[in-house]
Amino acid sequence: MKRIDIFYGGEHYSVGGRRLEDLLQEVEAGLRAGTHWLEVNDGEGMMRAAHLLVSPGVPMAIVPVPDEAPGPVPDEAWFEGEPLTN
């Protein structure tokens, strides 16, 4: 996985070098505890650490961003659902 994007309070943050399952477990454990400070990256280019307060009722979206996989190389050109012939 390339990174995990987090949308919180109308802002965009990210987490790198972690598995999605581990991050979800950390958030869920924090919610069970009542509150939890989640460390994330803020900014583009040079990252800065930021801490988000995870608590019940605060919306947060966690979006995994996969590594870029090479797309299939077409072996023929297609037009309107049919192979394009020369």
pLDDT in tens, 29-85: 999 999 999 999 998 778 899 999 999 999 999 999 988 765 555 555 555 666 656
Q: Would you list the domain boundaries of the chain?
A: 3-68
Report pLDDT for 77: 58
d(CA 22, CA 62): 12
Mean pLDDT of 4-32: 96
pTM for this prediction: 0.74
- In the 3-class helix/strand/coil scheme, how is 7-56 assigned residue by residue? EECCEEEEECCCCHHHHHHHHHHHHHHCCEEEEEEECCCCCEEEEEEECC
Report pLDDT for 84: 59
